[in-house]
Amino acid sequence: MKIVILDGYVANPGDLSWEGLEQLGELTVYDRTAPQDVVARAAEAEAVFVNKINLTAEVIDALPRLRFIGELATGYNNIDLAAASRRGITVCNVPAYSTASVAQTVFALLLQLKVNIGRYTAAVAAGRWVAAPDFSFTMGPIEELEGLTMGVYGLGNIGSRVAAIAHAFGMHVISPTSKAVEAIAPYVRKVTFEQMLAEADVITIHAPLTPQTRGLFGVAAFAAMKRTAVLINTARGPIVDESALADALRSGTIAGAATDVLATEPPTAACPLLAADLTGGDTPRLLITPHIAWQSVTARHRLLQVSVANLAAFLAGHPQNRVN
């Protein structure tokens, strides 16, 4: 079997091994592939692995030998599932591999918003503590998580783990989940979306990007939130209207935000969230990290293990983690 990985660098920049896939066939790995080169590079492939490469209906139909598509991620909105199904091509993803990694990043971002550790350590390194007149100095209020209400939008694997950690911090947890009350943890209170907006001190997004969630957090949502509330997004960038978020932060409609994802990645200079007045100063209103929540070594190792297992299961005639 000829196996092609079209954008392998981010999942494995060289600190892990492709050996498992090499044992299943003739493997070719490309760190990155430009859209115009996808068909040529995958022309002879029977199995193709992608992370963010778009496999449109046109691309899929141009690959006559293709039998298997492996998504090197959980989200698979970059693959035309209908086109793959028409061709009888099996598409598999890797669910839940980054649950712990993303959950800890949520709290790294939240704690930075509330405690500002990074800015304080940078200030000490810059000599500001040496020059301070007191034994302690402040760059803005430090807040406790205990007693705050966290709204979890999307109560799947990651959202449920975040809810558990929030509970351990002493936070109240609410969620507009579609799950039955009996199917969620007893410390999670089921509410409507509107109730979550009105009650939450922190809202964290863990939903997939769908036509229903695209732009869901926009002008109306921010207007309904507390002025003291903060928003965290480690899911998909387009779920948040970036212009509306920038306006909400500048106007004080909400107090702050942190995002690990943007609508366009890497962003262009025109991205409204990259403005210095939002991200700079002693107490920035916005924190941006470059889509790293999933990226721990442990999570990426798990990702490759499951990807190998997905292809092996397909070859054995019993596909796992199939999404089409």
Looking at the annotation, which residues are catalytic?
A: 236, 265, 291
What whole-number distance in Å separates Cα of residue 255 and Cα of residue 203? 12
Buried b (16+ CB within 10 A) or exposed e, 243-263: ebbbebbeeebbbbbbbbbbb
Instruction: Enter the tokens of residue 24.
Output: 């299943």
What is the SS3 assignment for the chain? CEEEECCCCCCCCCCCCCHHHHCCCEEEECCCCCHHHHHHHHCCCCEEEECCCCECHHHHHCCCCCCEEEECCCCCCCECHHHHHHCCCEEECCCCCCHHHHHHHHHHHHHHHHHCHHHHHHHHHCCCCCCCCCCCCCCCCCCCCCCCEEEEECCCHHHHHHHHHHHHCCCEEEECCCCCHHHCCCCEEECCHHHHHHHCCEEEECCCCCCCCCCCECHHHHHHCCCCCEEEECCCHHHECHHHHHHHHHHCCCCEEEECCCCCCCCCCCCHHHCHHHHCCCCCCEEECCCCCCCCHHHHHHHHHHHHHHHHHHHCCCCCCECC
User: How far are the Cα atoms of 2, 94, 151, 213 from residue 145, in angstroms, in the given order?
Assistant: 51, 32, 13, 27
Closest residue by Cα to residue 204 from 232, 176, 230: 232
